[in-house]
Amino acid sequence: MDGISSRRMAAVDRNAAALGVSTKQLMESSGSAVARAVRRHADPGASVAVVAGRGNNGGDAFVAARFLDDYAVSTFLLGRRESITTDISRSNWDALGEAELPRETVTDSAQVALGDPDVVIDGVLGTGVTGAPREPERTAIEAMNATDATVVSVDVPSGTDADTGEAADVAVEADEIVTFHRPKPGLLGRDDVTVADIGIPSPAETFVGPGDLQAVTRDPQAHKGDFGRVFVVGGGPYTGAPALAAQAALRAGADLAYVAAPDRVADRVQGYSEDLIVESYDGEVLTADHVPALLDRAGERDVVVLGPGLGSADATLDAVHGFLADYEGRAVVDADALQVVPDVDTEATLVCTPHQGELVKMGGPRSDDWRERRETVENFARDLGHTVLVKGAYDVVTDGETTRVNRTGNPGMTVGGTGDVLAGATGARLAVHDPVEAGALAAYANGKAGDAVVDEQGYGLLASDLLDELPRAFKHDDD
């Protein structure tokens, strides 16, 4: 079983809530699994000390204490009730009081006195920890290690980093770890780990959801450019496509959006928006002579979006080939440029964004059912060596290893230009995320923006309508 990082676990937890399985339900399953582990180690009547921190790890421990009311269980909260960080955990603390189960709060490390229990439940710190344990958690961990009890850790031994397995100078020495859903990367290879299924529905992982948006953050200390300079190479036969892609990049969080376009159309592209930095090259379409200068510029920027509105003249496709052959950075490839990708040997990291027809033109599979498409596109992406985002009612994003499916969006989005918006948004996210995550986030937000527009005004959506909605579509609970 693959490991799941703390960050991904938090996203999946939030996605599960959006699918109707609340964190409270998950906590109930987690606590119950911990209680079952305790029953394997000691019979009813045995003494159990439950040591709980102020986060949801402690909440799991409160639930376990409630399930163990046929044991001599006493619960210690490291802090005051008011300092419990989540409502769910606090309600489970309150439930212990209502059930008249022994519980006490420990606000001073000097007060940590666990007695001589048969079993200790370690619910002090889980995946939400930052840094080495502080007081009173530190003393509590030492007190747990000092008992002769069997120690059952909730999710991860407190003091051990769930992602790296690194133990702080003070960390719980667990006899058994009951971890939830999937092993945490830092626990892989250990033989003292039980993985409990806590009822997270598999769509919470497969489908991009609101939890995935938690990856979209903006550091208040950031400087201009930190969130990406996106370079759209497009336009020639068409002018709207590169303008939409570049504006979408800004709406999806990029700091600067550049467009390189033939001088015949560059002014028109600029005319659509004063927010873009438009650079022109001579001629009517992209040709091989332009490639060296474009490569220089691309080297100064974070991501290239190659394709929108370039057209499919032979000279242009040759130029795309030449560009990709020598480019080593990150790029989104869209529209007519896609057909070149299978024939080019490149060091670049690409996110290809075909619709079904373009995928077939690339030599990819045709499949109508999304489950089948997930499989076939995975294989195709693996062979291609790049990330592929196939657009459809269910978008599939995969690098052949990691796959996400997006089901936001609606039939109104079959209108021209929505793909250009997606390509630009993907470019912006590719400046800060890995390729699959970038594609997944962009597809999710693009579809969500389309849903918001159609909700408000009905069909008749324009691709440009998506631009205004995109920032809201990327917003999430933590904002």
Residue 158 interacts, among ligand LP7C6HRI, K ion, none and using kind-specific CB cut-offs from 5 to 8 Å, with K ion
- 156 vs 245, beta carbon nearer ligand LP7C6HRI: 156
- Please answer whether residues 214 and 14 qualify as being in contact, where contact means their C-beta atoms are separated by less than 8 angstroms: yes
Place of tokens 């927010």: 275
Return the residue nearest K ion (CB atom).
158
Flag whether 439 is marked binding. Answer: no
Q: Please, what is the minimum distance in Å from the beta carbon of residue 131 to ligand LP7C6HRI?
A: 4
Whether residue 355 is annotated as binding a ligand: the answer is yes
Percentages helix, strand, coil for the chain (3-state, rounded to 5) are: 45, 15, 40
Burial grade of 477 (CB within 10 A; 0-12, 13-18, 19 or more): exposed
CB 398 within 8 A of CB 388: yes
Q: Could you tell me the CA-to-CA distances from 277 to 1, 233, 264, 341, 448 in Å, in that order?
A: 47, 12, 16, 27, 27
Least CB distance from residue 155 to K ion, whole Å? 6
Smallest separation, CB 67 to ligand LP7C6HRI (Å): 14
Residue 246 phi/psi, 5-degree rounding, is: -70, -40
Q: Least distance in Å: CB of 136 to ligand LP7C6HRI?
A: 8
Which residues in 65-124 contact K ion (CB under 5 A)? 122
Q: Smallest distance, Å, CB 22 to ligand LP7C6HRI?
A: 9
Choice between 95 and 344, CB closer to ligand LP7C6HRI: 95
Measured distance CA(227)–CA(328) in Å, rounded: 20
Give the distance, in angstroms, between the CA of residue 44 and the centroid of all CA atoms in the same chain: 42
Backbone φ and ψ for 447, nearest 5 degrees, come out as -65, -40
Residue 131 marked in a binding site: yes
Cβ atoms of 309 and 232 closer than 8 Å: no
Q: Which two tokens stand for residue 234?
A: 């497009």
Examine residue 30 and tell whether it contacts ligand LP7C6HRI (CB under 6 A). Answer: yes
Sketch the per residue contact string, 403 through 442, with ligand LP7C6HRI: x for CB under 6 A, - otherwise: ----------------------------------------
CA-CA-CA-CA torsion sign (369, 371, 374, 380): negative
Distance CA 188, CA 8 (A): 16
Site string for K ion, 147-166 (x = CB under 5 A): ------xx---x--------
- Decide which of K ion, ligand LP7C6HRI, none touches 27; Cβ closer than 5 to 8 Å per partner kind: ligand LP7C6HRI
Distances (CA, A) of 180 to 5, 62, 109, 338: 12, 16, 29, 41
Binding to K ion, residues 304-333 (CB under 5 A): none
Q: Answer yes or no whether residue 9 interacts with K ion by CB under 5 A.
A: no
Taking the complex as a whole, how short is the minimal distance between the CB of residue 428 and K ion, in angstroms?
A: 38
* Distance, CA of 236 to CA of 261 (rounded, Å): 7
Instruction: Answer yes or no whether residue 28 interacts with ligand LP7C6HRI by CB under 6 A.
Output: no
75 is in an annotated binding site: no
Where do we find the tokens 């020598």? 326
Of 53, 157, 235, 262, the one binding ligand LP7C6HRI (CB under 6 A) is 53
Rule CB under 6 A: choose which of 33, 46, 48, 60 binds ligand LP7C6HRI.
60
Among 34, 125, 303, 333, binds ligand LP7C6HRI (CB under 6 A): 125
Angle subtended by helix axes 6-18 and 23-41, to nearest 10:
120
Using the rule CB under 6 A, give the single segment among 119-127, 227-235, 252-260, 455-463 that binds ligand LP7C6HRI: 119-127
The entry of K ion, ligand LP7C6HRI, none near residue 231 (CB within 5 to 8 angstroms by kind) is none
Closer residue to ligand LP7C6HRI (CB): 23 or 75: 23
Q: Which is nearer to ligand LP7C6HRI, 54 or 229 (CB)?
A: 54
Among 154, 303, 421, 423, binds ligand LP7C6HRI (CB under 6 A): 154
- State how far the Cα of 139 lies from the Cα of 145, in Å rounded to an integer: 10
- Phi then psi for residue 135, to 5 deg, are -80, 150
Q: Are strands 395-398 and 403-406 parallel, antiparallel or unpaired?
A: antiparallel
Please state the residue numbers annotated as binding site for AMP.
419
Where do contacts with K ion occur on this chain (CB under 5 A)? 57, 122, 153-154, 158
Where do contacts with ligand LP7C6HRI occur on this chain (CB under 6 A)? 9-10, 13, 23, 26-27, 30, 53-58, 60, 85-86, 125-134, 137, 154-155, 180
